């Protein structure tokens, strides 16, 4: 419980790992179509997400990036009138199979939203509640995990002496990092991020971006962002979504460098150069 150790992130030095050299698909999306009632949000998207890499989803608003993200952890199940067709394989398991355990799927796939969404509970309880739900109930174990993940997101030094105060008393950036910690506590392999910086001020946004960079290699990350500069800075792969014939479609997917420097599609070139979008 020493605050001076706060710089020593428990993630340790990142291993070079499989970053981009040997792309192993972790999530395979095949012919994914998504409707909200009559409205088509996504039309036949096929895309692989590679292990240990950061994949950025870019494109104008309403082109289905967030819907794509929520389809991966089946959060779309909660939306009335939402209909998903096609296949999504996570670690070679079809997530839509009737015998798949959606709670376990969502433990495996952490998610961080655009606006910080801490529960109206204490900081400690915010992390303990999902842990308890997944069967980790021993106080010592919960406390150890809490400290570790709070250190991982760089929040420990700021809150270690007030873990029992309401999480709502934290600043926006701190709340967002708490949400990261909450997701990391469940020991996921994949992290989905829906514009995690867009509701934060530039400084808090920078802190969160640094955090995402530290997570690279450890986790497979899919991030939706409107900030092209950010996508370029942090992502290994990028996918451009666009609205064609009133439906979101995948226009181009490839190495980040390729997408930003020598795109093969003219829409991509126009978008990343700021001509369109």
Partner 1 sequence: MRDNQQLHTVHRIRDRLAQCLIYSAVFLVGAVFIWILADLARGGIMHLSWEFITESPRDAGRAGGIASILISTLLILCVALIAAVPLAWSTAILLVECMPAASSFGKTVRFSLHVLAGVPSIVFGLFGNAFFSIYLGLGFSILSGGLTLACMLLPILTSTAEAGLRAVPDTYRLSASALGMTRTATLIHLILPAAAPALAAGLLLGIGRALAETAALLFTSGYVERMPGSLLDSGRALALHIFDLSMNVPGGDMPAYASALVLVTLLLCINILAMKLAYGLQRWRIMT
Contact status, residue 177 vs residue 155, Cβ threshold 8 Å: yes
Give yes or no for residue 104 binding partner 1 (CB under 8 A): yes
Residues in the chain: 277
Contact status, residue 52 vs residue 60, Cβ threshold 8 Å: no
Give yes or no for residue 73 binding partner 1 (CB under 8 A): yes
Given the structure tokens 């420990």, which residue do they identify? 156
Give yes or no for residue 220 binding partner 1 (CB under 8 A): no
Min separation Cβ 105 and partner 1, Å: 8
Give yes or no for residue 110 binding partner 1 (CB under 8 A): yes
Q: Restricting to residues 131-160, which ones interact with partner 1 according to CB under 8 A? A: 133-134
Select from 45, 105, 149, 184 the one that contacts partner 1 (CB under 8 A): 105
Q: Restricting to residues 74-93, which ones interact with partner 1 according to CB under 8 A? A: 75, 78, 80-81
Residues paired with residue 89 on neighbouring β-strands, in sequence order: 28, 94
Select from 166, 187, 189, 227 the one that contacts partner 1 (CB under 8 A): 166
Q: Restricting to residues 111-130, which ones interact with partner 1 according to CB under 8 A? A: 111, 113, 115, 117, 119-122, 125, 129-130
φ and ψ at residue 32, rounded to 5 degrees: -75, 120
- Tokens in use for 134? 């997944």
Long-range pairs of 7-12 with CB within 8 A, sequence gap ≥ 24:
8/151, 9/151, 9/152, 9/154, 9/214, 10/148, 10/151, 10/152, 11/152, 11/214, 11/215, 11/218
Nearer residue to partner 1 within complex by CB, 186 or 250: 186
Give yes or no for residue 161 binding partner 1 (CB under 8 A): no
Nearer residue to partner 1 within complex by CB, 105 or 239: 105
Min separation Cβ 122 and partner 1, Å: 5
Q: Which stretch binds partner 1 (CB under 8 A): 8-16, 108-116, 148-156, 236-244?
A: 108-116
Strand residues in 91-203 grouped as ranges (E): 93-94, 109-112, 190-194
Strand residues in 91-236 grouped as ranges (E): 93-94, 109-112, 190-194, 220-224
Which residues of the shown chain bind partner 1 in the complex (CB under 8 A)?
A: 73, 75, 78, 80-81, 102-107, 110-111, 113, 115, 117, 119-122, 125, 129-130, 133-134, 164-166, 179, 182-183, 186
């Amino acid at each position: 419980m020493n605050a001076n150790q706060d710089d020593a992130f428990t993630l340790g030095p990142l291993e070079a790992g499989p970053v981009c050299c040997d792309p192993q698909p972790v999530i395979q999306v095949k012919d994914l179509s998504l409707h909200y009632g009559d409205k088509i949000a996504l039309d036949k998207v096929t895309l692989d997400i590679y292990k240990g890499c950061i994949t950025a989803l870019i494109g104008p608003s309403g082109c289905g990036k967030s819907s794509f993200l929520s389809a991966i952890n089946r959060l779309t199940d909660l939306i009335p009138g939402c209909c998903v067709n096609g296949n999504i394989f996570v670690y070679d398991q079809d997530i839509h199979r009737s015998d798949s355990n959606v709670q376990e799927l969502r433990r495996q796939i952490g998610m961080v939203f655009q606006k910080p969404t801490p529960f109206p509970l204490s900081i400690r309880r915010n992390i303990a509640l999902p842990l308890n739900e997944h069967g980790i109930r021993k106080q010592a174990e919960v406390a150890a995990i809490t400290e570790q993940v709070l250190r991982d997101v760089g929040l420990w030094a700021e809150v270690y002496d007030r873990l029992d105060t309401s999480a709502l008393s934290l600043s926006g950036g701190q709340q967002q990092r708490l949400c990261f910690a909450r997701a990391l506590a469940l020991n996921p392999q994949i992290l989905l991020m829906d514009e995690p910086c867009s509701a934060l001020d530039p400084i808090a946004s920078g802190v969160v971006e640094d955090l995402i960079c530290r997570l690279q290699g450890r986790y497979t990350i899919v991030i939706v962002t409107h900030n092209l500069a950010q996508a370029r800075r942090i992502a290994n792969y990028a996918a451009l979504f666009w609205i064609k014939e009133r439906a979101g479609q995948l226009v181009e997917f490839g190495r980040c460098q390729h997408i930003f420097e020598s795109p093969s599609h003219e829409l991509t070139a126009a978008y990343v150069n700021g001509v369109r979008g």
